[in-house]
Amino acid sequence: MLQTTKMHYTLLILVNVLYTVTGHDENDPKISKLQVNADREWKIQEDIAKNLATLSAEVDRLKAQADNLEREGAKHRSLDTAALRQQHRLERIEKLVRDIRNLEDYLTDDGALDKHFVNLNVTVEKEIDAKIKVVNDRVGQMNAKIKEDLGGVGTITDRIEQTADKRNVVVGGVVYYMGIGSACTEDVDICRVGKSECREGICQCEPGLSSDSLRQTCVDKCEGGYGRSYQTVNNYAIRGYNNMELLNVTLENCKARCEAANAFVCRTFDYFPDWKSCYLSEKVKSDVEPVKAFPSNDGTYDADLDVRDKEDGWEYNGAAIHFQRDCRI
């Protein structure tokens, strides 16, 4: 619209210029024609502008109408959702009312109610009787177990006192709780003497040490000589380092020969019950190196399958019992 107005204004200027240049007045036919054309163009542009304004107003009206329709549609959709929720609530309420009426009918029927409670009581009584039986059976099993554990002892108190006595050891008139020689249970009891451990159900010195009972200590050597009691380690032996070998002898014979040895100080011996063989030695575990185990193909070690020669030293041997002499009392 602005461009058209500028063109019309320019055309009027040109007409006025023609008046001046040509010396014609405004009544000249040619100039009058130009004037008429310019006025007609101006009228057309005015009509176009009016039509555009009318169309713009109509577009704005239609947009406003569309917005109103959209708002009305949203309102109707919201009302539809609310109506659906309300319908669901009503359906649930109706179902609840039906359930209440059924319950009222059932409760007003005295015979049905009495029958229900009779059946309920019978069921409960059966369940209680079954649980009582289970409890009684369990109590009986526990009583039998306690009686077996007591081993002839009259009461649990007597059993506790007897067990406590086993946890004590008396040396030189002194009572030591969990001392060397007292009974113990592995992974439960803690032996009180330094460098001692629960082994074979007895508190013993660690392998390689002798017990000095009077002092309740575990020592490398007995300076005052060796006695006739022993620390034992099952399934282990000192390979080699033998000062004397005895065949076809009893365990008591083996002990007696160790204690009577004069050519050397017998500190340990290994006994093989299956073969009745005995090996006396002046060495203890701490004097020798552990034997290096030969691994099998899968990287593990099975002593029973290993038949190759080994070096001498402390080794696992499932057929052996290792004995180490204690200090003289």
**Structural domains in the chain (count):** 3
The reply to whether 178 falls in a domain is yes
Distance CA 10, CA 16 (A): 10
The full DSSP string for 16-31 is HHHHHHH---TT-HHH
Question: For residue 176, which of 155, 196, 198, 191 has the smallest C-alpha distance?
Answer: 191
The answer on pLDDT for 274 being more than 90 is yes
**Which of 329, 224, 216, 236 has the alpha carbon at shortest distance from 290?**
236
What are the φ and ψ backbone dihedral angles of 264, each rounded to 5 degrees?
Answer: -155, 165
- Domain assignment of residue 282, given as a range: 167-327
Task: Say whether both 186 and 154 belong to one domain.
Answer: no
One domain, residues 181 and 283: yes
Residue 98 lies in a domain: no
Whether 255 and 282 map to the same domain: the answer is: yes
Higher local confidence (pLDDT), 98 or 178: 98
- For 313, the enclosing helix (H) or strand (E) is strand 313-327
* pLDDT for residue 173 is more than 80: no
Instruction: Kindly report the average pLDDT of the chain as a whole number.
Output: 76
Kindly state whether residues 197 and 298 are assigned to the same domain. Answer: yes
pLDDT value of residue 109: 62
Cα–Cα distance, 159 to 149 (Å, whole number)? 9
Least confident span in 195-199, 283-287, 290-294: 290-294
Question: What pLDDT score does 144 carry?
Answer: 74
Single pTM value for the model: 0.47
Tell me, what's the pLDDT at 93?
79
Q: Please state, for a pLDDT cut of 90, what percent of the chain lies above it.
A: 31
Per-residue model confidence (pLDDT) at position 165? 52
Q: Is the pLDDT of residue 299 over 60?
A: no
The domain spanning residue 269 has which CATH number? 3.50.4.10
pLDDT per residue as tens digits for the range 136-162:
888 778 777 666 665 555 555 555 445
Residue 255 domain flag? yes
Asked if 171 and 320 sit in the same domain, the reply is: yes
- Cβ contacts of residue 292 below 8 Å, gap of 6+? 310, 311
> pLDDT for 217-230, tens place per residue?
999 999 999 999 99
Indicate whether 122 pLDDT > 80. Answer: no
Whether 93 maps to a domain, the answer reads no
Instruction: Return the pLDDT at 217.
Output: 92
317 shares a domain with 198: yes
